Copies of this chain bind each other. A is one copy, B any other.
Amino acid sequence: MPPKPSVSKLVPKVPGMPGVTGASRRQQYSASTKRALVDVAEELFTDLGYAAASLDSIVAGARVTKGALYHHFSGKQALFEAVFERVEADASRAIQKALKGKKDPWEKALAGLQAFLAVVQEPRYRRIVIQEGPSVLGYERFREQEERSTFANVLEIVRAVLNAGTWELEEEMLQTFARIFFGAMSSAGESVSSADDPIAAAERVETAIAFILQGFQVLAADGVPLPGATPEAD
C-alpha cells in the first residue's frame, strides 16, 4: 500500500460501481501505466480499428489522461507500434512453441503451418497486423517488422524443408520460396478465418500445401534440380 496523501483530487471514478474504489490508477499501478495503455489500445484497435479508436477512449479505458500517454509514447502511431510489436511477438512465440521439439523437417513444416493458421484466425492478429498494419506503419516498416518475427519462422521452416534433400539452395532463391510460402499461407489463412467452416477450410489448406510440398519431394527424387540449387554430394 503506497503512502496515502491527504487528498487525492481528480480521481476518475467509475460511475455506478461502488465496489471500485476511487483510488487513481496511478496509485494502484503507477509503474505499469504504460502496459495499461498498451492493453487498452490493443483491445480498442482490435475492436474498432486504428482510426476509429480515439486516444480519448484509450486513456479513459486506462484511467489516465492524454498527458500520461504522451509521456510514454510520442503519439498515436507509436502506441500502435507498441501494440503491433507485442501481437507479432506473441504470434511468433506461439509458432516457435509449436515447432519446439520437432526434428523432422516435414513434421516441423506441418506443425508450423497449423500454428500459423491458428494465429491468423486470432481477431487481434487479423485486425492489427494484417488489416491495419500496412496502412498505419507504412509498407516498409510493416515489412521490416514482419521480417523479424513471423516471416523469420516461415523462412526457418522452408530452409529446413528445402535443404532436407540433396539440394543446397542459394540464399536468394530460398528467400524467394519463403516469400511465396509466406504469402500463400497468409492468404490461405485469411480465407480460412472467413470461411463458413474454418475447420474444413484449414484442412483443405493443409492438404493443398502438403500436396505442393509433395511435388518438391517427387522432383527431388526424380533428380530434378531446384532452381538456383548447387548440387551436393549425397
Instruction: Please give me the residue from chain B that is nearest to A209 by CB atom.
Output: B180
Restricting to A110-155, which residues have a CB under 8 Å from any CB of B? Answer: 126-127, 130-132, 134-136, 138-140, 143
Chain A contact patch, size range: 35 or more
Q: Please give, as numbers and ranges, the residues of chain B lying within 8 Å of A204 by CB-CB distance.
A: 172-173, 176, 227-228
A130 to chain B, nearest CB (A): 7
Restricting to A198-229, which residues have a CB under 8 Å from any CB of B? Answer: 201, 204-205, 207-212, 214-216, 218-219, 222, 224, 226-228
Contact mask A177-197 → B, CB, 8 Å, 1/0? 101111111111011001000
Q: Please give, as numbers and ranges, the residues of chain B lying within 8 Å of A212 by CB-CB distance.
A: 180, 212, 215
Residue A51 CB within 8 A of the other chain: yes
Instruction: Please give me the residue from chain B that is nearest to A137 by CB atom.
Output: B131
A131 to chain B, nearest CB (A): 5
Q: Please give, as numbers and ranges, the residues of chain B lying within 8 Å of A211 by CB-CB distance.
A: 219, 226-227
Residue A49 CB within 8 A of the other chain: yes
Chain B CB count within 10 A is highest, among A51, A143, A208, for A208
B188 A176 Cβ-Cβ under 8 A: yes
A135 B49 Cβ-Cβ under 8 A: yes
Given A176-B208, A183-B185, A204-B228, A130 contacting B126 (CB threshold 8 A): no
Cross-chain contact of A188 among B138, B180, B188 (Cβ < 8 A): B180
Cross-chain contact of A139 among B131, B207, B209, B224 (Cβ < 8 A): B131
Query: Assuming A173-B208, A214-B224, what are 20 further A-B pairs, CB within 8 angstroms?
Result: A49-B135, A126-B139, A131-B135, A131-B138, A131-B139, A132-B135, A134-B135, A173-B204, A173-B207, A176-B188, A176-B201, A179-B187, A179-B188, A180-B184, A183-B188, A204-B227, A204-B228, A212-B212, A215-B215, A218-B224
A-B contact pairs, 22 of them (CB 8 A): A51-B51, A51-B135, A127-B139, A131-B134, A131-B135, A131-B138, A132-B134, A134-B134, A134-B135, A139-B190, A173-B208, A179-B187, A179-B191, A182-B187, A184-B187, A186-B187, A207-B228, A212-B212, A215-B215, A215-B216, A215-B218, A218-B222
- Name the 6 nearest CB pairs between A and B, nearest first: A215-B215, A183-B187, A135-B135, A184-B184, A207-B227, A183-B183
